[in-house]
A = this chain, B = another copy of it.
């Protein structure tokens, strides 16, 4: 039996449905025997390319109202706490740069950091754009906050996050979370949404 190809998990810290996805992708992928590649990217440029300068959940408030209720049901079923954030969407740029640096360095706590940022935003209603909030999350994971916040702001890290966002657009991503699987034929299969995680894993297998 050949090893299953990896599923790339594309996430953005402002994305509501990425919150439950980040909390279940690791366990479900492990159970399926599928490796996961965690890839932060930025939705802002992706939405801007579609002519949107805000979250579609704010542009289309009827859809937004549904999303919050739907997310509540999903979090309830998953046993995840949810507090509707006082600000939405929050700017996840700094957090995405930290995650980019940590994942590039192979830091074992990187997925925990990702989940911690989502928890801060969507369970505790904290301002994830605030460096002090991010520093506390890093410290809580035993990471050197000052060191990682400096690494996050290097030209290399900034370029890597821009490249991830460019790659996401080239792959046809238009929202988060998304999952991609590279095929043997050179093509890439795209799945969009927390509710497509199971299908993406089945595709990889």
Residues of B within 8 A of A65 (CB): 172
For the complex, what is the distance from the CA of A84 to the CA of B65, rounded to whole Å? 32
Asked if A69 is an interface residue, CB under 8 A from chain B, the answer is yes
Number of copies: 2
Chain A residues touching B, majority SS: helix
Residues of B within 8 A of A172 (CB): 62, 65-66
Residue of B49, B69, B174, B199 near A73 (CB, 8 A) is B199
Which of A44-71 touch B at CB < 8 Å? Answer: 49-50, 60, 62-63, 65-66, 69-70
Asked if A195 is an interface residue, CB under 8 A from chain B, the answer is yes
Which of A167-195 touch B at CB < 8 Å? Answer: 172, 174-175, 190-192, 195
The reply to whether B50 and A174 form a contact with Cβ atoms under 8 Å apart is: no
Residues of B within 8 A of A196 (CB): 70, 195
Q: How large is the interface on A (under 10, 10 to 19, 20 to 34, 35 or more residues)?
A: 10 to 19
Residues of B within 8 A of A195 (CB): 195-196
Residue of B60, B66, B190 near A190 (CB, 8 A) is B66
CB distance from A44 to the nearest CB of B (A): 15
Binding site for B on A (CB under 8 A): 49-50, 60, 62-63, 65-66, 69-70, 73, 172, 174-175, 190-192, 195-196, 199
Listed from nearest, the 10 A-B pairs whose CB atoms lie closest are: A62-B174, A63-B174, A50-B60, A195-B195, A62-B172, A66-B192, A65-B172, A66-B172, A66-B190, A50-B62
